[in-house]
Amino acid sequence: MSDHIRVLLADDHAVVRAGICQFLEQAADIKVIAQAGDGLMAQELIREYKPDVAVLDIQMPKATGIEVTRWVRANYREVGVLVLTAYDDDPYVMAVLQAGANGYVLKTAAPAEIVQAVRDVHEGKSALDPTIAFKLMAHIAGRSGPPPAYESLTDRELEVLSLAGKGFTNKAIGVQLGISDRTVQGHLAKTYSKLQANSRTEAVMRAVSLGLIQTEAQ
């Protein structure tokens, strides 16, 4: 067992987990020691097993892959983090890398590429899907230019968006802030417009990438 790369696999789709687990364990040097179906379970299992590499999806219940990555970097720096996801849009990419992930690979990658990414992360290397690497280089190249334009959010809009990023429903946000869920929806609609986002997830990820909010796991 000590010769294996010990992997924790976290994805909220059981069928996806089973498929990833199967081809990872076909590699003689990799052993999946634990699986999680949500972000909080991933944290509990990382705390218990201290894997060599945590392979995380981005969108998971209870805590996102970004939140889990931040938590790992703050508490278990020796654990490598490989994000394996279907999302390749810029806000996700930048938020994941800023959170401290060692690798970012798309689920469309060949099994052999994902296996190699696990090995690279375990060896302390960066593992980036070519598409992601291109986006990262474009982001770095554009840093000297002006920041992306967006209309400033009010304090209340930031509060609502921050709670949305932590997984709260409109009703739960309303209860916490003492406003109606209809008012919550109104605030979210304004943030979508200001951040040029088409959904709650996109708005949250864009706000994270711009440094407007943080969505650290509690």
Decide if 9 contacts 36 (C-beta within 8 A): yes
Which is more confidently placed, 50 or 204? 50
Amino acid (one-letter) located at 102:
N
At residue 212, the pLDDT reads 84
| Residue among 134, 139, 121 nearest 51 (CA) | 121
- Cα–Cα distances (Å) from 101 to 53, 55, 78, 122, 154, in that order, read 11, 10, 12, 12, 30
Tokens matching residue 217: 């796991």
Q: SS3 for 146?
A: coil
Exposed/middle/buried for 171, CB within 10 Å: 0-12, 13-18, 19+?
exposed
Domains and their CATH numbers in the chain: 5-141 (3.40.50.2300), 155-209 (1.10.10.10)
At residue 112, the pLDDT reads 92
At residue 144, the pLDDT reads 45
- Report the distance separating Cα 39 and Cα 75, nearest Å: 15
Top-ranked range on mean pLDDT: pick from 50-54, 88-92, 97-101, 146-150: 50-54
Contacts of 8 (CB under 8 A, 6+ apart): 32, 33, 34, 35, 36, 42, 45, 46, 49, 51, 53, 54, 55
The stretch 76-90 carries a mean pLDDT of 85
CA angle 155, 158, 159 (to 5 degrees): 85
When pLDDT is cut at 50, 70 and 90, the band that residue 19 belongs to is: very high
Which is more confidently placed, 67 or 216? 67
Q: SS3 for 23?
A: helix
Exposed/middle/buried for 114, CB within 10 Å: 0-12, 13-18, 19+?
buried
